[in-house]
Amino acid sequence: MIILGIDPGFGRMGCAVLEKSASSADSPKRRETLLYSTCVTTDKKLAHEKRLLALGEKLEKIIKKHKPNVIAVEKLFFFKNQKTIIGVAEAKGMILYLAAKAKIPVLEFTPLEIKMAMTGYGRAEKTQVQKMAIAILNLKKAPKYDDEIDAIACALTCSISVIHRNF
């Protein structure tokens, strides 16, 4: 199974492609492998619609290249900055549109659900989630941007939650 995890954003959008191998008689342990991750950034000087277009074009290329079975997206949560939430919501709408266009199911996870899946504690610090994601995937170094590691954690949460689902 290929999972595309996304941390929606307008200025920066984290994306991670995870392969989940099923357990078998030879290998009873399920395994996740990070195939690709990035943080897509947009130029603040561009017009609003051009920034959304740039995000959409990059995401569409990722979808076409990796052909995910499911897309995991972090649910929008309470934002103090009203201006920020609107841009993020618009980016999330673009993500949902591309998923529907490609006929890929979407699973959404709250930050609390991601923290719970990654650390066993829903109020864990962001650094704890990041350390667990790095440890689970045995990464040599942490990604540069938080958005990228958040996308990885979202994909891992999806991997854990789809044990009882069929895609």
User: Is the confidence at residue 81, as pLDDT, over 70?
Assistant: no
> Beta partners for 10?
none
Our answer to whether residue 26 is catalytic in this structure is: no
What's the average model confidence in pLDDT over 59-67?
A: 98
Our answer to whether residue 7 is catalytic in this structure is: yes
- Domain range summary for the chain, segments of one domain joined by +: 2-164
User: Is the confidence at residue 3, as pLDDT, over 80?
Assistant: yes
Q: Which residue among the candidates 7, 19, 32, 150 is catalytic per the annotation? A: 7
pLDDT of residue 31: 87
Q: What is the CATH number of domain 2-164?
A: 3.30.420.10
User: Is the confidence at residue 80, as pLDDT, over 90?
Assistant: no
The Cα angle at residue 7 between residues 166 and 80, in degrees rounded to 5: 130
Q: Which residue among the candidates 19, 74, 148, 150 is catalytic per the annotation? A: 74
pLDDT digits (tens, 9 = 90+) for 109-130: 999 999 999 999 988 998 999 9
pLDDT of residue 85: 82
Secondary structure of residue 36 in the 3-state scheme: strand
pTM: 0.91
Our answer to whether residue 74 is catalytic in this structure is: yes
**Which run of H or of E encompasses 85?**
helix 82-101
